Amino acid sequence: MGGTKANPYFWRMNKLRLLFSVFFIFVFTSCSDENDHVQESPRSITIVLSKQNSSSSYRHFIEDIDPTIKINWIDAYTTPLSQLTDDLEEADGIILTGGVDIHPGLYGNAYDTVRCGTIDSKRDALETTLLDHALESGTPCLGVCRGLQFMNVYMGGSLHPHLPDTLSDIHRGKDGQSTEHEIYVTKALGAIDINRGNKSATVSNHHQGISRLADNLEAWAIAPDGLIEGIRHPDTTHYPFFIGVQWHPERSDPSGSLATPIGEGFLKAVLNETGVKKNTDTSEILPRVRDSSSTQVIMIDNGLSHKVDIQMH
């Protein structure tokens, strides 16, 4: 008994229907997954400034790296402590900004107030709170100028109360104005795209600086007179971005190798903290000038001694 021969036309039509069905299912699923991903991604990040300056230079410095990112800025200095506690729980990054002198009593030299300028004890206490949170949570933290100094004091180090008396006068211009001098990188950092041996002119305006480096910090950059200009926490697993710089990257030439990479590294750490995935390659945002011609090996004597406990009153 002979069977009915299949019609080739209908066989081809059924095959096409099957292929189209698979195609539309794939497209729909892909679109749904993409939309779900967009909805799950945070629309903004929150960064806490220890004290916002009048020019908003720190904000512009970070915002200019990727203008597509919405940043919620918190000025800790003007925020009530009860509100700041809640804000810190939502914070994705912390910047300790430049400012007035740290009370020398915090590093065991209370009599050195005569060699200090303006002292703000409220800010000392505030930045202690910020560093408490940064070290407890691992939140990315960048210290600039005074910020680097306070990181060192908080961790048990000490400061030169007045650099012209003990080291040199290259760090501040006449009449308290900003000046420029070179910085030498002595250690490469994974968190920032800066190579060992780099040197670059940076903006400087300070009369104090690190005297004894805290035991739990390590130096990665110095000035021509030997002053430590860059520090980080050595435990980069728990603290991938706990970095301080003595100069002002937010006011330095953005094409310099020690300006924009500082902000890029901080922002990358913040985005990693929030889980935001950006398609932008931040290494292409601003041009950089790298000078790897220097192979000078610079030895740093940290002068380590016993750790001093900080007492806040």
Which residues are the active-site residues?
Answer: 145, 248, 250
Tokens describing residue 30: 């892909």
SS3 194: strand
- Please provide the DSSP assignment of 151-166 as one string: HHHHTT-EEES-HHHH
Pair 57, 251: CB distance under 8 Å: yes
User: How far from the centroid of its chain's Cα atoms is residue 18's Cα?
Assistant: 54
Pair 261, 192: CB distance under 8 Å: yes
Residue 143, C-beta contacts closer than 8 angstroms, at least 6 positions apart: 95, 96, 149, 150, 151, 231, 243, 244, 245
Q: What is the residue whose two structure tokens read 């990315």? A: 140
